[in-house]
Amino acid sequence: MVGAGRVLIDTGFFIALFNRRDQHHASARQMEEWLDTIPILLPWPILHETMNTRLVRRPESLARFGAFTRSTEMMLLDDTLYREESLSALLSPNSAKGSLSLVDAVLCSIIEDVNVPISAMLTFNERDFLTVCAQNNVELISVV
């Protein structure tokens, strides 16, 4: 399923995984064990979004997420190189990234970077990443 690169995981997956009331919770839980076996790329914007949710108010969920981020297969990625480019693209008229959130625009910029080995992206929001993944030979794993 996944090639030599890392798997990029979108925020929505983590929200679903740690929130029992989320509509995608069961699907995310089914993927959880698989995540322990693959190399994962976790950009800082995903950490910001995930940690900005109710997750931080649930000690058990926060502990599980903390363990996940400390996994030996986890690579945290600084987003500094992608911030200004993504912001400029969003603020530019007629931009292809114009309908994305800033975080999703940063993720698209990371996917476009040939120096970042990504073989797949895991998301519930397939629509925003379909084109950029296809153009960059990144498998899109939609869990819905």
Domain boundaries, the chain: 6-142
Q: For domain 6-142, say whether CATH 3.40.190.10 is its number.
A: no
Low-confidence ranges of the chain (pLDDT < 50): 1
User: What is the pLDDT at residue 59?
Assistant: 86
pLDDT at 90 (0 to 100): 87
Average pLDDT, the chain: 87
Half-sphere exposure of 2 (CA within 13 A, CB side): 19
pTM for this one? 0.88
Q: What is the pLDDT of residues 24-66, one digit of tens each?
A: 999 999 888 888 788 999 999 999 898 887 777 888 888 888 8
Beta pairing partners, 141: 122
How far CA 97 is from CA of 6, 91, 93, in Å, comes to 23, 9, 10
Q: How far apart are CA 45 and CA 35, in angstroms?
A: 19
Compute the distance between CA of residue 49 and CA of residue 90 in angstroms, rounded to an integer: 18
- Tell me what pLDDT residue 2 has: 57
